[in-house]
Amino acid sequence: MKKLFVLLFSFLTISTCVNASSEGGEFKPGDMIMHHIADDYTWHFADGMVLYLPVILVDNGQVNVFSSSNFYNEHHELVPYKGYVLEHGHIYRANAEGEPSEDHAGLLDFSITKNVASLFLSVALLLIVFFTIAGRYKNNKGKAPRGIQSFFEPIIVFVRDEIAKANIGPKYERYMPYLLTIFFFIWFNNLLGLMPGGANLTGNIAVTFVLAVMTLLITVFSGNKSYWGHIFATPGVPKWLAPIMIPVELIGIFTKPFSLMVRLFANITAGHIIILSLFSLIFIFKSVAVGPLSVAFATFMNFLELFVALLQAYIFTLLSAMYIGGAVEEHDHVDDMGHGDGGH
């Protein structure tokens, strides 16, 4: 199975590389890499295997729905359609010459792009897996877990004991649904992105931005009196430093989710770029000697990315739990005489 996976991965990736970046016989590695890591209105699985996704435009209240295949002619060249043109991954109104117009007012794009389709796929997969597990728990009460249930139970217990309990404390239970959701959502999409033809969903900064904002909102709205007291009246800090400390603490609230957003986006995107760059060496050097080495290094990187996929899900969930734990934790302030608030 491992050998079959390696052969399939190599064949489909190399085939897609050639098809996605060859124009007039010239190989363009930059175009190929951007084609794979960027969002698109088509989903290119391999040479000859293209899924044209639905375009949904709301233009000044008028809804236009059609297939993205209409933007391509028989030679797979971009052409205008219904007064719209596709250029550099975006849809614009077309002018009389069929080029993008500068007038974008009132044009809203709700199209099902590759990343959106991948998002739907991963959500459906998550629902199927965990409704199946929930059904097994319901039907096998008091019995040893079996099958898919036995595989996921240790992971769920690990998230509960080593991430939620360890960082949030006694109030961990109310945050377990969120922590489990982001852990498995990130992990599943990281793995799906490594499949041949997979979408780079967790390498899309809009997706990581939304995940980070969700952690920010939960942290802020969970903050207790002690949490906000540390921000607006930091214990042990002279009052004359408050004009400096309060802005610093407030900035810290936003830099934490910002680091979550950038870390996940950068690590996943970098992994994809490295793998695709290694495959590009085959067509850049056009040497038989380079081919096996490139495939070997790219395959090694792909297996390394399997570990990174799990690691990034763990780090994002762990840091989210730490930020939430800091917001709900009750602090015993110690005064200059060493006496705490709790009378210790």
Asked if 227 and 317 sit in the same domain, the reply is: yes
Query: Using CA atoms, how far apart are residues 281 and 278, in angstroms rounded to an integer?
Result: 5
The H or E element spanning position 113 is: none
Asked if 318 and 266 sit in the same domain, the reply is: yes
321-330: per-residue pLDDT in tens? 999 998 888 7
DSSP 53: P
The reply to whether 333 falls in a domain is no
Asked if 289 and 303 sit in the same domain, the reply is: yes
Asked if 125 and 63 sit in the same domain, the reply is: no
Query: Using CA atoms, how far apart are residues 257 and 212, in angstroms rounded to an integer?
Result: 5
Asked if 152 and 276 sit in the same domain, the reply is: yes
Q: How confident is the model at residue 3 (pLDDT cuts 50, 70, 90)?
A: low
Q: Give the residue carrying structure tokens 């739990």.
A: 321
Q: How confident is the model at residue 44 (pLDDT cuts 50, 70, 90)?
A: confident
Q: Give the residue carrying structure tokens 């043109």.
A: 85
Domain residues for the domain of 122 are: 115-328
Asked if 157 and 297 sit in the same domain, the reply is: yes
Q: How confident is the model at residue 199 (pLDDT cuts 50, 70, 90)?
A: confident
According to the model, what pLDDT value does residue 258 have?
Answer: 94
The reply to whether 335 falls in a domain is no
Asked if 146 and 182 sit in the same domain, the reply is: yes
Neighbours of 323 (CB within 10 A): 21
127-167: per-residue pLDDT in tens? 999 999 988 888 888 787 788 888 999 999 999 999 999 99
Predicted structure pTM score: 0.84
Asked if 11 and 101 sit in the same domain, the reply is: yes
Asked if 190 and 323 sit in the same domain, the reply is: yes
Domain boundary at 45, 76, 110, which? 110
Domain boundary at 55, 75, 110, which? 110
The reply to whether 87 falls in a domain is yes
Query: Using CA atoms, how far apart are residues 220 and 222, in angstroms rounded to an integer?
Result: 5
Beta strands in 160-234 (DSSP E): none
Asked if 120 and 218 sit in the same domain, the reply is: yes
Domain boundary at 110, 137, 171, which? 110
Query: Using CA atoms, how far apart are residues 184 and 165, in angstroms rounded to an integer?
Result: 18
Asked if 122 and 99 sit in the same domain, the reply is: no
Q: Is 117 exposed, middle or buried (0-12, 13-18, 19+ CB in 10 A)?
A: middle
The reply to whether 161 falls in a domain is yes
Q: Which of 59-63, 139-143, 229-233, 335-339 has the largest mean confidence?
A: 59-63
Query: Using CA atoms, how far apart are residues 51 and 152, in angstroms rounded to an integer?
Result: 32
Q: What are phi and psi of 73, to 5 degrees?
A: -90, -170
The reply to whether 343 falls in a domain is no
Is residue 318 within 8 A of residue 180, CB to CB? The reply is: no
Asked if 95 and 132 sit in the same domain, the reply is: no
Q: Give the residue carrying structure tokens 């930059």.
A: 30
Query: Using CA atoms, how far apart are residues 211 and 296, in angstroms rounded to an integer?
Result: 34
Is residue 16 within 8 A of residue 47, CB to CB? The reply is: yes
